[in-house]
Structure 1
Amino acid sequence: MKKTAVIVAGGAGMRMGAELPKQFLLLKNKPLLYYTIDTFLKAYEDLDIILVLPEAYTDMGQEIIDAYFDKDRVRITIGGATRFESVKYGLQLVEGEAIIFVHDAVRCLVSPELIRRCYEQAVETGSAIPVIAASDSVRLLTEDGSDALDREKVMLVQTPQVFHSKLLIPAFSIEQKGKFTDEASVVEAFGMKVSLVEGEKNNIKITHPVDLMIATQLLDPA
């Protein structure tokens, strides 16, 4: 089955407090984006990447590709105002039937093992959503305050979220209603169920400056 990864790096990353979008910040002297692309390309030799970037940073993205990777395996497209739009633009470049990975560019510590585990699940069931158990107490905000939730029934969602193209591409043809936070919510809004797989605690999303420090330590634990 053809494999295509849509790596979404369309945001500005304002919470990092940096001038550059966070996907271009350096981690051990290489951009975060380098690690994400490198892991996907190494996970499967027959996988290609569609990289979704802000229009102002496509040249910078191309420089990274030219410096480190086989440019024939990575294509760039421009993102939209929302994640939904950015993923939709990326999906427009998918050719033919495929298993599609959608991944946050700044989850740069994703492992080849997780990528393969998600692929195998998606081939079997049509979808694969990596999750990890909540380790903290969880509360749901209500009009009257908040309610405690059973954390044993709460899972934290990661990427890559992986789908057969016959499921994902039609799902993104629907009108965006409300705020879709991930691809699973889009597919579910389209009336389909998703399958969960075990994620990884190290598969963190770089959002705040402290996350960059943690990622540095995880890359070089010694």
Structure 2
Amino acid sequence: MDAVGVVLAAGLGTRVGADGNKAYLPLAGRSMLAWSLDTLTRLPDVARTILVFRRGEFALAHDTVRHELGDRPIEFVEGGETRHGSETNMLRHLADDIDAGTVDVVAIHDAARPLAGPEMFGRAIALARQYGGALPALPTRDLAEMRDDILQPVARRGELVRVQTPQAFRARDLLHAYRCADRDGFEGTDTSSCVERYTDVQVRIFDGRATNLKVTYARDVAVAQHLLNAPGQSPGS
């Protein structure tokens, strides 16, 4: 059985200030999406790599990948109108192989997180194989809320976290969840929310990294550029 790595690049980039899809912004000599694709295609645990591209951008996606990554065996799937829709299209692409048992884990990653290293993908896949699902997260501290125009600390029973990607899941559970969601018209906020709604998988959390930032605003581009150019800091190093 094989793991499949997926890079989602079907969004836009309004907050980052990009004219089009921010996944193609140049970072340290290559487009942002190429960093994660490069990492996935080098992992021995990942047998197949899929790029989910924005509708109408197949030529851009294909030409970018061929120019920057050569003849790497990358599959292309057209995305949907939403993140959930893009994941649904990807799972339909894989459905026959998942049902046949030749794909055991699917790891889904945002193209806007170019600094996730191979160890993060490897950890997510290994934990998903063991427990059913896994994702990296960082603790969130010093939260407060407004009550009658007064700032009050948030009382918490457990630790709140900021979820990152890659998120990895057993393929059959993931496909089942999205088939159920399609039946019910449900759209999750992220992959794990759909899995948790329709399966009994207990998604395991492991330590994320502050450097695994999501490029959302213009200032994030400069930070990511700096980290990718730093010696020993790029994902493949």
2:217 is matched with which residue: 183, 191, 208? 208
Does 2:133 align with 1:124? no
Given that residues 33 and 106 in structure 1 are in contact (C-alpha distance below 8 angstroms), is that contact kept between their aligned partners in structure 2? yes
Does the residue aligned with 1:5 lie in a helix, a strand or coil? Answer: strand
What is the match of residue 63 of structure 1?
63
- The one of 198, 206, 226 equivalent to 1:190 is 198
What's the CA shift for 1:48?
1.2
State whether structure 2 residue 164 is matched by structure 1 residue 158. yes
Q: Which runs of 5+ in 1 are unaligned?
A: none
Q: TM-score, normalised by structure 1?
A: 0.90
The question of 1:27 aligning with 2:27 is answered yes
| 1:179 to 1:88, Cα distance in 2 relative to 1, 3 A | closer
Partner Cα distance (1:141, 1:4) in 2: 44
Q: CA deviation at 1:51?
A: 1.1
Kindly state the Cα deviation for residue 7 of structure 1 after the two structures are TM-superposed: 1.2
Q: Which residue type is aligned with residue 13 of structure 2?
A: G
| Aligned-pair Cα RMSD in Å | 2.4
Change (3 A) 1:164 1:41: same
Q: 1:175 to 1:19 in 2, by over 3 A?
A: same
2:227 to 215, 218, 221: 218
- Counterpart residue number, 1:199: 208
- The more displaced of 149-158 and 209-218 is 149-158
Change (3 A) 1:190 1:20: same
Q: CA deviation at 1:160?
A: 0.6
Q: Report the Cα distance in structure 2 between the residues aligned to 1:116 and 1:18, rounded to whole angstroms.
A: 31
Instruction: Report the CA distance between 1:19 and its aligned residue.
Output: 0.9
Q: Contact conserved, 2:135 with 2:163, CA < 8 A, in 1? A: yes
Deviates more, 1:205-214 or 1:188-197: 188-197
Tell me the SS of whatever aligns to 2:67. helix
- What residue ranges of structure 2 are gaps of 5+ in the alignment? 232-237
Do the aligned partners of residues 143 and 7 (structure 1) sit closer, same or farther apart at CA in structure 2, a change above 3 Å counting?
A: farther
2:211 is paired with a residue whose SS is coil
**Equivalent residue of 1:87, what SS?**
helix
Per-residue deviation, 1:68: 3.2
Instruction: Give the stretch that moved more between structures: 182-191 or 136-145.
Output: 136-145
8 A Cα contact 2:52 2:77, kept in partner: yes
For residues 54 and 143 of structure 1, the distance between their equivalents in structure 2, rounded to whole angstroms, comes to 44
Instruction: State yes or no: 1:49 paired with 2:49.
Output: yes
Q: 1:91 Cα deviation (Å)?
A: 1.1
TM-score (norm 2): 0.84
Seen in structure 2, the aligned counterparts of structure 1 residues 145 and 221 have a Cα distance that, compared at 3 Å, is same
Matched, 1:175 2:181: yes
Task: Give 1:88 deviation, angstroms.
Answer: 0.6
**Cross-structure match for 2:18:** 18
Q: Does the CA contact (< 8 Å) of 1:6 and 1:91 recur in 2?
A: no
**8 A contact 2:41–2:72 mirrored in 1:** no
Aligned counterpart, 2:144: 139
Query: In the alignment, is the contact (CA less than 8 A) between 2:136 and 2:166 conserved in 1?
Result: yes
Q: Distance in 1 between matches of 2:203 and 2:105?
A: 14
Deviations 1:192-212 (A, max 9, x none): 221111111111111111111
For residues 205 and 142 of structure 1, do their structure 2 counterparts lie closer, same or farther at Cα, with a shift above 3 Å needed? Answer: farther
